[in-house]
C-alpha cells in the first residue's frame, strides 16, 4: 500500500515534470498554470470568433493550422468552436489592450481578450503550445496536442520594439514583411525603420525626387564597413534601393494585420550624407562632390563620444530652405504613417562645419550663445514644431536633450541608460535602447567568429536588462527596443542571425514581469525555440554555447580564463595545433599560455557531442586580447 502510494507520487511528479516541460513559452507569461490533460487538434474542427473585429485573427490561426496539419479548419462567428476567440463583453482591466487569457482542456481552447490585439497574442502563445511542426509551411505529421493550461498574460511595456536599419543595407519590402512575421511570434509590436543615413535614403518623397534618384544609390563596395574605398569620380552608383509610397502603404497594411506600429526615422541634422548628395545646398559647405557613402571612412572617432567628420554630413540649421525641405519631407511622411511618433534622429551630429559657417555664426549671435550645441537644440525645436503642426510627436536619440528640447519630445536612450534617466527626470517619455543591453548589431559570440564590429553583447547580458532603472518613475518608460544597425549585415539571413536569440531575451525583458525572469529557465526555452526556428526556416545564432575566452597579461605572461554562459557545457582546448575533441584537455581553471608561437583552439561540448563553434586564437590575437584591444 505504502509503496504503491510512493509509486503514484513518483509518477505524478514525473507527469507534472513532463507536462511543465512542454510549456516553454517566450516571452514567459505573467501566470501559467499547467493542468492535467491535453487537447488534440482534429480534422474538421472549427475556430469561432465572438465579434467580426476578431475575424482576421481567427483567419490567421486557421490558415496556420491548415498549412501545417493539412486539416481543413474553418472560421465562423459564434462561441461554440473547439477553439474560441472571444472578445470580452466587459473589459478585464488587468489585461489592458494587449493582454489575454488562454484556457485549454480536453474539450477545447478558449482565448479571451479585451481587444483583437490580445487575441492575436493569445494565438501566438497557442502556436508555442503546439508542437514545433506547427511552424511547417507544408502539411506534416505530428502529435497535434496542446497541454491543458490556464494562462493569464499581459505586457509589462506598451513599446516592445526592434529597429531595422534599412539605410546601411537596403532590405526589400518582402524581407521587411518576413522580419515582422518573425517579430510577432515573440509579441514585439513596434518596428522602427531607420530610413535615412549617410549610406542611403530609402523612402520616396514625391516633392523631392532626387532624394531617391540620387540618394538611394551608392557605388558597389564590399568588405569591412568604414574601410572601403571611397567613390571614384564619375563612378556609377548601382547599389541600393528604396520604398515607393505604394510600397510603404503595403508595408503599413501588412503591419496592421500583425498589430505592429511602424515608426519611421529620418535621421537629421547629422547622418544626412545621402540627402546632401541629392541636394548639396542643404549643408553648410554646399559641397557638390559629396556622394552617398559606400562604407568608406569619413570620420575620426576619438573615444568618449567625440568625433570629427571629414565630409559635411549635417544639414545647415541656419538656412530657412532646410526647414522648407524638412516640411516637405515630414508632410509626406505624416500623411503616410499612422504612427503618432516620427523619429528624427538627432544623434552624432558633427558641428565643426556649423562653427565655421557665417550663417550659423549669425544665428548663434541671434540666439545669444557661444555654444554650437544650442544650434542643435534650435534645429530640433524647429523640427518639433513642423511635426506637431502635422499632428505628430517628435522622437529622437538622446542627443536631443543636449541642446534643450520641449518636454513633449520622446527620447530614445541609446548611449547607455543615462540619457533615459535624465530624460525621465525632466518629464520626457523614454524608450530604453541602450548599447549596453540592446545593440544587436554587436558581435554575440567570440569576436573572431562573427563579422567584426566595434563592440560586443552576449545573450545573457541582453537577458539581464531591466528597462526601468532604479530611481526612475516607471510611468515615463514606454518600453524598450533592440537596434539592428546593418553596416555589417547585408542579407536577411544574417539579420535573423543577429536578431535571434538575443531578441528573444529582449522580448522577455519588455513583456515579462522582472521577477518572473530566470536565466537558467530561459536557456531551456531558447533551446526549445531553436527547434521551432529550424522548422520555421528562421536563422539564429548558437553563440551562447561558445566558450567565453578571456586573456590577461600577468607579469609579462598571458593567462587564459574561460567560461560558458549556459549550464552543462564542457570546454575542451588545444595548444598543440590540433583540433579540440573530448580527449583534449578539458578546461577547469585559468592557465598560463606557454611562450612561443602557440595557437589556442577551443570548442565546447555537451554530453560528449560538439555544440559550439571552433574558436581559434593565434599568438597575436591572444596578445591583443590580453592587452584589452
Binding site for ligand ACM (CB under 6 A): 347-348, 397, 414
Min dist CB 453 to ligand ACM, Å, is 12
Asked whether the beta carbons of 28 and 508 are under 8 A apart, the reply is: yes
Pick the closer one to ligand ACM by CB: 64 or 343.
343
Asked whether the beta carbons of 329 and 266 are under 8 A apart, the reply is: yes
441: annotated active-site residue: no
Ranges of H-type helices in 367-417: 373-389
Pick the closer one to ligand ACM by CB: 312 or 348.
348
Tell which residue, 86, 80, 82, 79, has the closest CA to residue 100.
Answer: 86
376: annotated active-site residue: no
Asked whether the beta carbons of 618 and 585 are under 8 A apart, the reply is: no
From residue 201, give the alpha-carbon distance in Å to each of 208, 276, 400. Answer: 12, 10, 22
Min dist CB 485 to ligand ACM, Å, is 7
Total Cβ atoms within 10 A of residue 56: 17
Computed on alpha carbons and rounded to an integer, the radius of gyration of the chain in Å comes to 27
Total Cβ atoms within 10 A of residue 255: 23
Min dist CB 194 to ligand ACM, Å, is 9
271: annotated active-site residue: yes
For residue 430, give the C-alpha cell. 523614454
Q: Where is 515: in which H helix or E strand? A: none
Using Cβ positions, the residue closest to ligand ACM within the complex turns out to be 347
Q: Across the strands, what pairs with 394?
A: 342
At residue 49, φ and ψ (nearest 5 deg) are: -125, 140
Pick the closer one to ligand ACM by CB: 347 or 527.
347
Among residues 38, 153, 197, 357, the one annotated as catalytic is 197
Total Cβ atoms within 10 A of residue 263: 23
Ranges of H-type helices in 130-272: 173-184, 210-213, 245-257
Asked whether the beta carbons of 79 and 50 are under 8 A apart, the reply is: yes
Min dist CB 250 to ligand ACM, Å, is 27
Among residues 271, 343, 376, 428, the one annotated as catalytic is 271
For residue 75, give the C-alpha cell. 472560421
> 3-state DSSP call for residue 179?
helix
Min dist CB 435 to ligand ACM, Å, is 7
Query: What's the CA gap between 432 and 416, in Å, rounded?
Result: 9
Among residues 38, 312, 348, 446, the one annotated as catalytic is 348
Min dist CB 431 to ligand ACM, Å, is 12
Just list the catalytic residues.
197, 271, 348
Amino acid at each position: 500500500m505504502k509503496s504503491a502510494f510512493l509509486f503514484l507520487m513518483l509518477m505524478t511528479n514525473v507527469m507534472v515534470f513532463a507536462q511543465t516541460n512542454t510549456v516553454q513559452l517566450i516571452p514567459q507569461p505573467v501566470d501559467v498554470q499547467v493542468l492535467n490533460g491535453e487537447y488534440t487538434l482534429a480534422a474538421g474542427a472549427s475556430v469561432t470568433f465572438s465579434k467580426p473585429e476578431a475575424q482576421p485573427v481567427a483567419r490567421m490561426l486557421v490558415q496556420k493550422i491548415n498549412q501545417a496539419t493539412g486539416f481543413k479548419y474553418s472560421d465562423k462567428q459564434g462561441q461554440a468552436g473547439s477553439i474560441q476567440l472571444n472578445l470580452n463583453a466587459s473589459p478585464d482591466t488587468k489585461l489592458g489592450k494587449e493582454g489575454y487569457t488562454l484556457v485549454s482542456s480536453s474539450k477545447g481552447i478558449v482565448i479571451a481578450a479585451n481587444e483583437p490585439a490580445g487575441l492575436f497574442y493569445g494565438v501566438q502563445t497557442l502556436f508555442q503550445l503546439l508542437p514545433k511542426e506547427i511552424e511547417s509551411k507544408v502539411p506534416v505529421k505530428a502529435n497535434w496536442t496542446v497541454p491543458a493550461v490556464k494562462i493569464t498574460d499581459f505586457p509589462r511595456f506598451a513599446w516592445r520594439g526592434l529597429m531595422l536599419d534599412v539605410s546601411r543595407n537596403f532590405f526589400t519590402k518582402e524581407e521587411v514583411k518576413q522580419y515582422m512575421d518573425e517579430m510577432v511570434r515573440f509579441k514585439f509590436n513596434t518596428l522602427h525603420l531607420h530610413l535615412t543615413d549617410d549610406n542611403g535614403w530609402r523612402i520616396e518623397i514625391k516633392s523631392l525626387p532626387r532624394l531617391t534618384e540620387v540618394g538611394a544609390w551608392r557605388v558597389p563596395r564590399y568588405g569591412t564597413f568604414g574601410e572601403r574605398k571611397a567613390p571614384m569620380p564619375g563612378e556609377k552608383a548601382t547599389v541600393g534601393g528604396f520604398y515607393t509610397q505604394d510600397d510603404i502603404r503595403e508595408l503599413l497594411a501588412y503591419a496592421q494585420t500583425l498589430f505592429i506600429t511602424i515608426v519611421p526615422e529620418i535621421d537629421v541634422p547629422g547622418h544626412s550624407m545621402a540627402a546632401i548628395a541629392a541636394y548639396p545646398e542643404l549643408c553648410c559647405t554646399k559641397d557638390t562632390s559629396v556622394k552617398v557613402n559606400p562604407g568608406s571612412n569619413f570620420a575620426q572617432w576619438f573615444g568618449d563620444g567625440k568625433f570629427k567628420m571629414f565630409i559635411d554630413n549635417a544639414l545647415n540649421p541656419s538656412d530657412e530652405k532646410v526647414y522648407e525641405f524638412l516640411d516637405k519631407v515630414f508632410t509626406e511622411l505624416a500623411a503616410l504613417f499612422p504612427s503618432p511618433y516620427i523619429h528624427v534622429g538627432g544623434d552624432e551630429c558633427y558641428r565643426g562645419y556649423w562653427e565655421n559657417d557665417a550663417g550659423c555664426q549669425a544665428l548663434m549671435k541671434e540666439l545669444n550663445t557661444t555654444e554650437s550645441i544650442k544650434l542643435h537644440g534650435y534645429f530640433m525645436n524647429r523640427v518639433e514644431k513642423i511635426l506637431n503642426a502635422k499632428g505628430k510627436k517628435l522622437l529622437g536619440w538622446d542627443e536631443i536633450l543636449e541642446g534643450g528640447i520641449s518636454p513633449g519630445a520622446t527620447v530614445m536612450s541609446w548611449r547607455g541608460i543615462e540619457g533615459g534617466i535624465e530624460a525621465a527626470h525632466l518629464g520626457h517619455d523614454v524608450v530604453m535602447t541602450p548599447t549596453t543591453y540592446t545593440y544587436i548589431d554587436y558581435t554575440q559570440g567570440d569576436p573572431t567568429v562573427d563579422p567584426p564590429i566595434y563592440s560586443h553583447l552576449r545573450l545573457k547580458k541582453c537577458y539581464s536588462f531591466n528597462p526601468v532603472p532604479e530611481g526612475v518613475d516607471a510611468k515615463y518608460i514606454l518600453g524598450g527596443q533592440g537596434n539592428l544597425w546593418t553596416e555589417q549585415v547585408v542579407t536577411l539571413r544574417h539579420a535573423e542571425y543577429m536578431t535571434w536569440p538575443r531578441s528573444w531575451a529582449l522580448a522577455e525583458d519588455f513583456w515579462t514581469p522582472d521577477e518572473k525572469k530566470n536565466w537558467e529557465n530561459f536557456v531551456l526555452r531558447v533551446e526549445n525555440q531553436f527547434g521551432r526556428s529550424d522548422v520555421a526556416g528562421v536563422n539564429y545564432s548558437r553563440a551562447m554555447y561558445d566558450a567565453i575566452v578571456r586573456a590577461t597579461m600577468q607579469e609579462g605572461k598571458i593567462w587564459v580564463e574561460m567560461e560558458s554562459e549556459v549550464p552543462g557545457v564542457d570546454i575542451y582546448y588545444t595548444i598543440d595545433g590540433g583540433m579540440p575533441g573530448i580527449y583534449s584537455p578539458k578546461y577547469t581553471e585559468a592557465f598560463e599560455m606557454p611562450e612561443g608561437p602557440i595557437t589556442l583552439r577551443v570548442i565546447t561540448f555537451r554530453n560528449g557531442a560538439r555544440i559550439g563553434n571552433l574558436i581559434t586564437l593565434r599568438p597575436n590575437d591572444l596578445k591583443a586580447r590580453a592587452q584589452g584591444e
